[in-house]
Amino acid sequence: MTAKKTVSGILIVLAAVALGVGGTYLWMTKGGLPGLTGIVKGGGPAEVKVGEEKKLYTCPMHPFIISGKPGDCPICGMTLVPVKSSGAPATAAAGPAGEPKKERKILFYRNPMNPTVTSPVPAKDEMGMDYAPVYDDEGGGEGTIRVDPNTVQSMGVRTTTVKIGELKKTIRTVGRVVYDESRITTVNSKVNGWIEKLHVSTTGEEVKKGAPLIDIYSPDLVSAQQEYLIARRHFGQVKDSPFTDVVNGARDLQQSARKRLDYWDIDRAQVEKLEETGEVRKTLTLYSPFHGVVVSKAVFDGAKVMSGMELFRIADLSRVWVQADVYEYELPWVKQGTAATVTLDYIPGRKFHGTVSFVYPYLEGKTRTATARVELANPGALLKPDMYAHVELLPQVKGKTVLVPSEAIIRSGIRNVVFVDKGEGRFQPREVTLGFEGEEGAVQVLSGLAGNEKVVVSGQFLLDSESSLKEALKKFQSAAGDSPKSAPGAPATPTSPAASPGKGTGDGSSMKGMDMGPSTKGVETPAGNGKGR
């Protein structure tokens, strides 16, 4: 009794499966989709001749679905698209009037359900669909893919023409006004002594060259004056002597005493007054050797000074430096002679123009910036040291160069790739070598592109997703060899696209998540079409 029930149950299940399959077939061919006219067997994009009175629609992913009305695909839910009428036979292309038709060469065969899987010979996929031929006039160049123009338009793919011109860039940064180091001088004392009078009493005071700074009393200066007067009197006494050695010795002694006063910064006027009066002065005056502003003062009235001690620091502000911070990735742009414009917040509308005179050969470790020195004239001392300034550096690449928009470049971190529009829906990934990046996103291309070519600037990633460009790009980057040839009489076995030029690698990713029908476990599947899912 139990065996009879088991057999009956199996028969009932088989009958239900048969009815379900038959009902599904009738629903899809007749009543399942309004206007559905049939299922086209075979794998390639269906070439359906459309009359003038009736227009047919098909699914982009399932070309065997044909409908007489607009609607959605019953398998994947995609919107049906109009079927284009077939023109000339697939094996020949019509030439100009009066010329014979040109035979079209088949490069390889492509799986219509997974375009990344190709074969050098005719083949069928797991569902028995024929592979579609790809002809040499359909963009069979290395890495080139083809997308239906309607799909390209719906994805918003935009292109632009590669330009040839001069690359310009504006580097905007901040800087600090500092003293011109070549215009700073230090006044110090060369003798020990005491300050009797201070002529410059405040920091920031402007002094002229030759202006008095201090009156200093020094025992060494007093002794030097006395020695000079004695040597001078002695020479006056013996200068008429008949003994030349005596005269020369007295002259040398006088000159030596005179040079000592010079070396201790006693100016000529004080020495001449000493010679005129013959009186030793208690104090002598030190004068400014430079015109500028006192930026540092280390002494006061009555202070004791030691030899070598810094008394004043004087800076000339008629010219100043602006030290601009430049990030390391911008350093190739900045060179000696680069034009610069400096503005300050406290003087709106006023611009100071100069050039980069020096780029320091090291970086600041914390900020990762280098310093570019800009020399500027400073009329009226408007630029004051330690002010912050806005700096615009205006470098320029000399000569003409190939330029593309930055958005046209796909940067993988290892390679830089652009997609070249070859026309008629064909796109070719091409590796390029980049140079500098200029204003408004313009990037210099050193190799890989020529002028007047068209590149994709919008929709690259949608294009990649729609047409499996990632696989084509892998093929383009790996630069694999020719497809292996099948032996005569061998079964048609699909090969991975990496084995022939212009084909992507096939991992069957586009079939994931789809109902593949009966299990294919244990059935040998073509290589590279997603076996084992």
- Which of 154-158, 175-179, 200-204, 441-445 has the weakest average pLDDT? 154-158
What pLDDT score does 39 carry? 42
Query: pLDDT confidence of 509, banded at 50, 70, 90?
Result: very low
- For residue 464, pLDDT over 60 is answered with no
What pLDDT is stored for residue 486 in this prediction? 39
Q: Is the pLDDT at 152 greater than 80, yes or no?
A: no
- The answer to whether the beta carbons of residues 285 and 311 sit under 8 Å apart is no
Highest mean pLDDT among 158-162, 434-438, 529-533: 158-162
Determine the pLDDT at residue 514: 37
User: pLDDT grade, residue 463 (50/70/90)?
Assistant: low
Q: Which pLDDT score, from 0 to 100, does residue 512 have?
A: 38
Report pLDDT for 9: 63
Q: What is the mean pLDDT of the chain?
A: 75
Higher pLDDT, 108 or 15: 108
Q: Please, which pLDDT band fits residue 137 given cuts at 50, 70 and 90? A: low
Average pLDDT over residues 298-310: 89
Q: What three-state secondary structure class fits 49?
A: coil
Q: Which strand (E) or helix (H) includes residue 286?
A: strand 283-287
Other CB atoms closer than 10 Å to residue 272's CB: what's the count?
A: 10
Is residue 505 classed exposed, middle or buried when 0-12, 13-18 and 19+ CB atoms within 10 A define those classes? Answer: buried
Residue 486 burial (CB count, 10 A): 15
What is the mean pLDDT of the segment spanning 205-233?
89
What average pLDDT score do residues 59-81 get?
A: 81
Contacts of residue 89, defined as CB under 8 A and 6 or more positions apart, other chains included, come to none
* Chain Cα centroid distance, residue 294: 46
Specify the pLDDT at position 15: 61
pLDDT given for residue 127 in this prediction: 80
Above 80 in pLDDT, residue 229?
A: yes
Q: Quote the crossing angle between the two packed helices 244-263 and 219-238, to the nearest 10°.
A: 160
Q: Does the structure show a pLDDT above 60 at 297?
A: yes
pLDDT of 289 > 80? The answer is: yes
Query: Residues 414-439: pLDDT tens digits?
Result: 888 888 888 877 888 888 999 888 87
Q: Which stretch of 360-364, 440-444, 476-480, 489-493 has the lowest confidence by average pLDDT?
A: 489-493
72 phi, psi to nearest 5 deg: -115, 150
pLDDT tens, position by position, 519-530: 333 334 333 444
Here the tokens at position 132 are 């579609």
Residue 26 has pLDDT above 90, yes or no: no
Tell me the two tokens of residue 81: 């698209």
